[in-house]
């Protein structure tokens, strides 16, 4: 079975198991999505949602973040971890949004990754969920599951992204990544995956071997 054939067999199985999927971060506009995704680095989405529930009431515009007091912002996002670096990047990111993009979140990979604190994972999530563009979001779940199933042999997130882009239909790429998050949390966990109840075991190279 080629990797493309494996993807073709995988898609209906994932659709049956996870018909309704979405980004698990809470946001109401592109800026909030960008900030929330930056905060999610090395932090659970559940924790980020707790932080942003109050954060987005206090800071409502790109100008609010750009002009934020660094020490105060650190305190506001402290429980998300790595708060000093995240606070610095959020302020710099929003300053650049104002200076270079009229305060709007841009819609290209090149522009998004020019923003402080914005790597390819964050950029792809914004491109896919906000702008509806083909996007492969390689988080810890995507990397682990894609490798176990046999869709990539790489560990580097950018290489995993490129491998998946070659074999996953563009209009399904973001959906697949969201399904991998659901699957990774419920079944294909990092330790002790539940292969005996896995809905995609029949197309997984590692079924019963992890």
The dihedral built from the CA positions of residue 24, 26, 28 and 32, taken in this order, carries a sign that is negative
Report the half-sphere exposure of 131 (CA within 13 A, side-chain side): 17
In the set 121, 129, 143, 163, the catalytic residue is 121
Give Rg (Cα) of the chain: 18
* CA atoms of 21 and 82, how far apart (whole Å): 28
Q: How many helices (H) and strands (E) does the chain have?
A: 11, 0
In the set 45, 76, 139, 163, the catalytic residue is 139
* CA atoms of 96 and 90, how far apart (whole Å): 10
Provide the token pair at 114.
Answer: 């020019």
* CA atoms of 138 and 133, how far apart (whole Å): 15
* Catalytic residue status for 139: yes
* Catalytic residue status for 88: no
Query: Annotated catalytic sites, by residue?
Result: 121, 139
């Amino acid at each position: 079975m080629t990797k493309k054939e494996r993807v073709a067999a995988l898609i209906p199985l994932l659709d049956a198991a996870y018909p309704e999927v979405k980004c698990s971060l809470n946001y109401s506009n592109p800026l909030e999505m960008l900030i929330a995704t930056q905060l999610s680095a090395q932090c659970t989405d559940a924790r980020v949602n707790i932080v942003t529930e109050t954060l987005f009431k206090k800071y409502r515009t790109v100008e609010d973040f750009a002009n934020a007091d660094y020490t105060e912002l650190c305190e506001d996002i402290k429980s998300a971890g790595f708060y000093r670096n995240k606070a610095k990047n959020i302020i710099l990111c929003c300053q650049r949004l104002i200076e270079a993009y009229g305060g709007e979140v841009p819609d290209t990979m090149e522009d998004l990754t020019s923003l402080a604190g914005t790597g390819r994972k964050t950029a792809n999530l914004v491109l896919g969920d906000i702008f509806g563009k083909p996007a492969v979001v390689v988080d810890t779940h995507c990397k682990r599951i894609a490798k176990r199933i046999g869709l990539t042999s790489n560990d580097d997130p950018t290489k995993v992204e490129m491998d998946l882009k070659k074999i996953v239909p563009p209009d399904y790429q973001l959906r697949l990544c969201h399904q991998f998050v659901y699957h990774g949390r419920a079944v294909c966990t990092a330790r002790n995956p539940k292969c005996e109840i896995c809905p995609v075991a029949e197309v997984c190279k590692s079924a019963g071997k992890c």
